A and B are shown apart, each in its own frame.
Chain A
Amino acid sequence: LAKTTQPISMDSYEGQEVNITCSHNNIATNDYITWYQQFPSQGPRFIIQGYKTKVTNEVASLFIPADRKSSTLSLPRVSLSDTAVYYCLVGDGNTDKLIFGTGTRLQVFP
């Protein structure tokens, strides 16, 4: 299965914008890109989903370049409560299986 990679960790301060990138160079042609947030001892929680270009909702934006080989989750003005692990989820182009990324641990400091 193709690997879906993310930076292991990121640090930020409250009020800053955070951008987390996921590399998925073998994404399935017709598949969406979905991002989840996970707190300790909880299951992942949906943040945002997109297919191409840019998607924005009340908590985040998702940027997807034309080749769709990567995506960037943007969290505007993070707070302490945004400290969590963030995962991207895509379908593999060869097997069409759902693959979670390696996860990025975001630590927000006051």
Chain B
Amino acid sequence: EAGVAQSPRYKIIEKRQSVAFWCNPISGHATLYWYQQILGQGPKLLIQFQNNGVVDDSQLPKDRFSAERLKGVDSTLKIQPAKLEDSAVYLCASSFSGGALEQFFGPGTRLTVL
């Protein structure tokens, strides 16, 4: 079974630039999560989708971050404009459904904002 795919694996940009990350979840998984993991900290949930609807985006900085999951499969997370404090690893995860089910994580995208 193929795992969660993410791209790119690494990205370096300057502050005020824009960046987008892509995630392809495991086939058949209805729930998709985007997390931000700052170095030395645990992942922080940014947004959770159930199919193509948003379940929770309360910790997404909506003035600069946006995410979509068209057709309930792939998802993109965008930052516009980036700030220095956005430097982190962005993890995508999926699960068969929401709630208590096991989340499967992708390898993450390491973003460095200069």
Contacts and interface: CB of A to CB of B under 8 A. Distances in A.
Interface in B1-47: 4, 40-45
A64 to B, nearest CB: 13
Nearest to B93: A43
A81 interface: no
Contacts of A87: 42-43
Contact of A100 (B43, B100, B106): B43
B101 to A, nearest CB: 9
A34 B104 CA distance: 12
B42 A98 contact: no
A34 B43 contact: no
Nearest to B43: A100
Nearest to A1: B59
Contacts of A45: 105
Residues of B contacting A: mostly = loop
Contact of B43 (A41, A44, A49, A97): A44
A49 B93 CA distance: 17
A32 interface: yes
Interface in B42-93: 42-45, 48, 56, 58-59, 91, 93
Contacts of B42: 87, 100-103
Given A34-B100, A42-B107, A102 B41 contact: yes
A31 interface: yes
Interface of A: 31-32, 34, 36, 41-46, 49, 87, 95, 97-103
